[in-house]
Structure 1
Amino acid sequence: MSVVARAWPAALLVAVLGLAGCAGEPTRIAPGTLKADALQQLGAPTAAYPLSGGGERLQYSRAPAGFEVNNVDLDASGRVVSIRQELDDRLFDRTIQPGVGVWREADVLRIYGRPFEITRVSSYDGVIWSWRYKMMNAPRLLYIYVDPAGVVQRYHTGDDLMRDLFERM
């Protein structure tokens, strides 16, 4: 058997997997798509949340290693009304609502999904949830501070210095 004949099945597999990866991209779903069709194209979501008005959010997170959380919102009739990649510096000020009783853990999960890490520090009485994201291809971190009552108190962003360290190795 020739080298070309042996390599052909592997090349075909790579091409098929590449096309399947494109089909599973949430941002390529058209508004108006039925839920069943969206699920067929995207597969099972990493989480699903009810929305006001009878709608539903299908969340596709690439965490913990990835940099994106895509929310596909459906209306009460089960049709896609919006798709949004949430881990974006330009959205944080409009989305995150720190303050007494305003934004809680459930709100954070509904927007960003499970964090890649939950930590504690001695200077804060609560936990710090963090997500990886990219800003113009630079690895960044979003930190959300949640107090013991489950209320978001503040957030900030920072460079993902550990990622830079591993990339240099």
Structure 2
Amino acid sequence: MTAGWRPSLACAALAALVLAGCASEPTRLALGVTRAEALQRLGMPTAVYPLPGGGERLQYSRGPMGYEVNNVDVDAQGRVVSTRQELQESLFDRTIQPGRWREADVLRTYGRPYETARVGSFDGVVWTWRFKSMNAPRLLHIYIDPTGEVARYHTADDVMRDDVRW
């Protein structure tokens, strides 16, 4: 054993790091805490959006290269009422509303995209986010027409990932 090595101190330091990591994870935030407590635990959000009814959404994005966008919704009384990691493939069908959603709805849900592009088969812009499905890197593409309305979306494999060999 190395001189000065104290297993109990090392274990305590590791436990503190693990607990600090959990405290800064938005989806582990207890419902009902105040907005001020949420900000103290999570830090400044990457974006803040107003919600219907006087509440607001604190958005914590790990983009553009990350795979998560966590939304913390606060009601009009300043209490956390929900937390959710939005970039989950199982949520897309229930969340994205082609023909109804506008750019503002997309931003309020997913934040700024990883990439924006134009394609020859669509008159508009395609916004793209990175996410993981079963630990495999994937892409979410949302097609926004020239009026700012969501036309459609689809997911695809991230062909730029390291484990794909051509």
TM above 0.5: yes
Q: Distance in 2 between matches of 1:148 and 1:136?
A: 34
TM-score by length of 2: 0.88
- Which residue does 2:66 correspond to in 1? 66
Unaligned stretches of 5+ in structure 1?
none
Instruction: Return the offset for 1:125.
Output: 1.0
- Which residue does 1:83 correspond to in 2? 83
- Which residue does 1:126 correspond to in 2? 124
Q: Distance in 2 between matches of 1:168 and 1:156?
A: 20
Q: Distance in 2 between matches of 1:117 and 1:54?
A: 31
Q: Distance in 1 between matches of 2:14 and 2:3?
A: 15
SS at match of 1:131: strand
Q: Tell me the C-alpha RMSD between the 2 structures.
A: 2.2
Q: Distance in 2 between matches of 1:97 and 1:105?
A: 11
TM-score by length of 1: 0.86
Instruction: Return the offset for 1:30.
Output: 0.4
Instruction: Return the offset for 1:4.
Output: 5.6
Q: Distance in 2 between matches of 1:71 and 1:154?
A: 22
Instruction: Return the offset for 1:18.
Output: 4.8
- Which residue does 1:25 correspond to in 2? 25
Percentage identity across aligned positions? 68
Unaligned stretches of 5+ in structure 2?
none
SS at match of 2:27: helix
- Which residue does 2:136 correspond to in 1? 138
- Which residue does 2:40 correspond to in 1? 40
SS at match of 1:54: coil
- Which residue does 2:104 correspond to in 1? 106
Instruction: Return the offset for 1:22.
Output: 2.3
Q: Distance in 1 between matches of 2:107 and 2:158?
A: 21
- Deviation digits for residues 56-99 of structure 1, max 9, x if unmatched? 10001111111111110011100000001111111111111111
Residue 130 of structure 1 aligns with an amino acid whose one-letter code is T
Instruction: Return the offset for 1:137.
Output: 0.8
Residue 45 of structure 1 aligns with an amino acid whose one-letter code is P
Q: Indicate how the Cα distance of structure 1 residues 149 and 168 shifts in structure 2: closer, same or farther if over 3 A, else same.
A: closer
Q: How many residues align?
A: 162
Q: Distance in 2 between matches of 1:123 and 1:4?
A: 67
- Deviation digits for residues 22-70 of structure 1, max 9, x if unmatched? 2210011000010000000000001011111111100011111111111
Q: Distance in 2 between matches of 1:154 and 1:22?
A: 35
